[in-house]
Amino acid sequence: MCLCIAYSSTIGGLTTITGTSTNLIFAEHFNTRYPDCHCINFGSWFLMSFPAAIIILLLSWIWLQWLFLGFNFKEMARCGKTATAKQKACAEVIKQEYQKLGPIR
């Protein structure tokens, strides 16, 4: 979980100029190197970096999914599968225990 948070923080920091200090350094260096072109601002930086951040976010999700949980696409997209006997028995036990609780008042 901590690894996921660290990755998402880094990827989110890419999308704004003030997200990381390297973004600020690059923007200032670019503006001093090319003083006639003040084309790096919050909007232009976001438009440039947002598509890349989305792609990196999806790739890192796939990588973390594969690394820690195993990437089984058939298992992830099992919308119409019926429950196994073990799952049905578990649901029945939960239903019985819930009925034993009785009403609130």
Tens digits of residue pLDDT in 20-75: 899 999 989 998 999 888 788 889 999 999 999 999 999 998 888 888 877 776 66
Cβ neighbors of 28 (< 8 A, separation 6 or more) are: none
Whether 65 and 71 have beta carbons less than 8 Å apart is answered as yes
Task: Encode pLDDT of 81-97 as tens digits.
Answer: 677 888 889 999 999 99
> What pLDDT is stored for residue 79 in this prediction?
64
pLDDT score of 52: 93
Per domain, the residue ranges of the chain are: 2-77
Residue 72's alpha-carbon distances to 41, 62, 75, 76, 80, in angstroms, are 42, 11, 5, 6, 16
pLDDT at 76: 67
